[in-house]
Amino acid sequence: MMELKTIAVFHSPFKSKFGIPKQSGLADEVPGQIELLPPFRNADALRGIEGYDYLWLVWGFSANPHAASSPVVRPPVLGGNQRMGVFATRSPFRPNPIGLSSVRLVRVQWDGDNAPVLHVNGADLMDGTPIYDIKPYLSYADAHPDARSGFSQLHSMPQLQVTFAPAVQHQLDTQQQTELAQVLSLDPRPRYHNDPDKTYGMPYGKWDVKFRIDGTNVTVIALETLSKSH
C-alpha cells in the first residue's frame, strides 16, 4: 500500500470549513502560503517553479472526520436533495479523502523563517491543510475551455452584492475588503438557509465576521477578534 507523505502545510485565512469557496479560483484574491516541511524544505525542490503562473495542489481533507460510506452523495449545488455518484462530484466524502486545487503562484519567498515559502492566491483550503504534492499547471495540456461541466454547469454560482457597515469599514484595508467581499459574494450559507434576520459568523483571518443576507445582498455588520483557540 502506498503511503502518502505530507510535504507541506497550507496557511489560509479560513479557520473553519464554513465560508471556504466551493472551488479553487472562485475567490482569486484570497491569499495563502505553502510552507514546506523537512526534509522537503529545500530550495532545490522548487528550482524553476517561478516560471509557472498556476500550480496544482494535491491535498488531504483533514477536517472531514466522516469516512465515505455510500457510492452516492448529495451535492450542495443541487440543494442537497438529489443524489449523484461520488465520482461525478467533488464531494469531500470520498473513498480516499484527497482534494485537487489549482492556485495562482504570486511569488516565492526564498529567505526568512521556514523559507522557501510559496505565496499563492485563490485556494479553497482550510488553514492547516496537509499538502501531499505540488505540480505545475500546464495551459497547453490542462486547459479545456470548451469542456462540458455536467450538472454543475446548469447551476451557476451565486453572485451576491456585499456591503460593509460604516463601523466595519475602518477595520479593513482595501485589499482585505476585496478578499472578504469575494468570499461572501459566493454565499457561504447552506443552500437551505434563507433567513434575512439571522446573523452568521465566519472565522476569517483574525476576525469573526458577522454578516446577514437578505435576498442577494450581504451586509457585514461587525468584526470581532477571534479567540486564541481558533
Same domain, 195 and 83: no
**Separation of alpha carbons 188 and 208, rounded Å:** 14
Same domain, 47 and 128: yes
The answer to whether residue 2 sits within a structural domain is no
Q: 1-17 burial by CB neighbour count: b if 16+ within 10 A, else e?
A: eeeeeebbbbbbbbbee
What pLDDT score does 154 carry? 58
Please check whether residue 30 is in contact with residue 23, taking contact to mean a CB–CB distance below 8 angstroms.
Answer: no
**Separation of alpha carbons 220 and 199, rounded Å:** 10
Neighbouring C-alpha atoms within 13 Å toward the C-beta of 111: 0
Same domain, 51 and 129: yes
The answer to whether residue 105 sits within a structural domain is yes
What pLDDT score does 192 carry? 66
The answer to whether residue 154 sits within a structural domain is no
Strands 130-136 and 117-121: unpaired
Same domain, 179 and 133: no
Note the residue count of the chain. 230
Among 197, 191, 172, residue whose Cα is nearest residue 182: 172
What pLDDT score does 229 carry? 59
Residue 136 dihedral angles phi and psi, to the nearest 5°: -70, 145
Ramachandran sector of residue 186 (left: φ over 0; alpha: ψ -120 to 50; beta: rest): alpha
The answer to whether residue 133 sits within a structural domain is yes
The residue type found at 55 is L
Q: Which of 82, 113, 142 is the last residue of a domain?
A: 142
Same domain, 107 and 176: no
What pLDDT score does 93 carry? 85
The answer to whether residue 13 sits within a structural domain is yes
The answer to whether residue 156 sits within a structural domain is no
Chain center to CA of 51? 24
CATH number of the domain where residue 123 is located:
2.40.30.70
Same domain, 135 and 210: no
The answer to whether residue 23 sits within a structural domain is yes
Query: Which parts of the chain have pLDDT scores under 70?
Result: 65-66, 153-157, 191-192, 228-230
The answer to whether residue 109 sits within a structural domain is yes
Q: What pairs with residue 38 in β-bridges?
A: none
The domain of 186 spans 161-225
What pLDDT score does 98 carry? 93
What pLDDT score does 92 carry? 86
Q: Which helix (H) or strand (E) covers residue 177, if one does?
A: helix 174-185
Condensed to tens digits (0 to 9), the pLDDT of residues 67-86 reads 777 899 888 777 777 899 99
Q: Which of 142, 177, 199 is the last residue of a domain?
A: 142
Condensed to tens digits (0 to 9), the pLDDT of residues 163-201 reads 999 989 999 999 999 999 999 999 988 766 778 899 999
Same domain, 134 and 169: no
The residue type found at 176 is Q
Neighbouring C-alpha atoms within 13 Å toward the C-beta of 95: 5
Same domain, 137 and 208: no
pTM: 0.90
Per the structure, how many domains does the chain have?
Answer: 2
Please check whether residue 101 is in contact with residue 121, taking contact to mean a CB–CB distance below 8 angstroms.
Answer: no
